[in-house]
Structure 1
């Protein structure tokens, strides 16, 4: 039976996550602001950077960016208008479109990655040892909805 209230440890864990997420998000956002790129734009550019020179199908990019299709289309239009991405016919079927980073998009992404990685080291990684990081990685994997293990039942 679910409890109506969080226990003290549950509350501390949840509040700690929320406060830490907000603090780190805002710091990273402030760090990339001088590059004239929003966090949403950075997220899409980073996905395309990880995809490599062949880019990513627009529908997959939209889904991975966790945005509504309309919001994603407007964001992609802005990035294309700024010369950071370009749309190309899908090489596999010719019906859909892929987004790929332009030279300017790759240059901006390299700057944003350097800034973000430096900020993450200062705000997050430098404060944790490998054991902490392994523990967090295991937690995030366990909380993934596609994770196949069931959470342990509370024995209380």
Structure 2
């Protein structure tokens, strides 16, 4: 059985992971595609794009984001006003409201997403080779799964 890491080793690894993410996110936020929508707004559209066709309840959408529920609700209001998402009654529970992409929202998400993926490829692909990218994916997947299992 492998030796457990020290508190210092885990703290250093966490700090490195966090700083890396901050550095990359700051660079990506400067890109032209995020002049039209903020990265957080894009993240909402991205998550709705991956959702079932009927959409997501606000609470379910919020599980994939780093926003408070009131902040997300205000953002949804802004996205509704821009015609990118709609609120509609949940057909399986008429008391609940689903958030879904409009056609315009799906088009904006696709367009920005294509540019975003190209820029991510430039940043990550310019720094890591294919084997390192696979290792990174495996490590981050293992971390995510471990935390999810702990939450139960």
Q: Same fold (TM over 0.5)?
A: yes
Aligned equivalent of 1:154: none
Aligned equivalent of 1:146: 148
Q: TM-score, normalised by structure 1?
A: 0.79
Aligned equivalent of 1:108: 108
- Maintained 8 Å contact 1:29/1:39: yes
Q: Is the deviation greater in 137-146 or in 103-112?
A: 137-146
Give deviations 1:5-56, integer Å, cap 9, x for gaps: x35x963x4454233212210122122223x211111111100011153221
Quick one: structure 1 residues 27 and 52, their matched pair in 2 at CA, closer, same or farther if it must change by over 3 Å?
A: farther
Q: Specify every segment of 5 or more residues in structure 2 that has no aligned partner in the other structure, as ranges.
A: none
Q: Is the deviation greater in 80-89 or in 139-148?
A: 139-148
Report whether the alignment pairs 1:33 with 2:30. Answer: no
CA RMSD of aligned residues (A): 2.5
- Maintained 8 Å contact 2:58/2:73: no
Secondary structure at the counterpart of residue 146 of structure 1: helix
Instruction: Give how far 1:147 is off.
Output: 4.1
- Maintained 8 Å contact 2:46/2:109: yes
State the alpha-carbon separation in 2 of the partners of residues 135 and 97 from structure 1. Answer: 40
Give deviations 1:109-143, integer Å, cap 9, x for gaps: 01110111011000013432332122212211232
Q: TM-score, normalised by structure 2?
A: 0.81
State the alpha-carbon separation in 1 of the partners of residues 95 and 66 from structure 2. Answer: 23
Aligned equivalent of 1:74: 74
Secondary structure at the counterpart of residue 124 of structure 1: helix
Q: Is the deviation greater in 52-61 or in 76-85?
A: 52-61
State the alpha-carbon separation in 2 of the partners of residues 111 and 89 from structure 1. Answer: 28
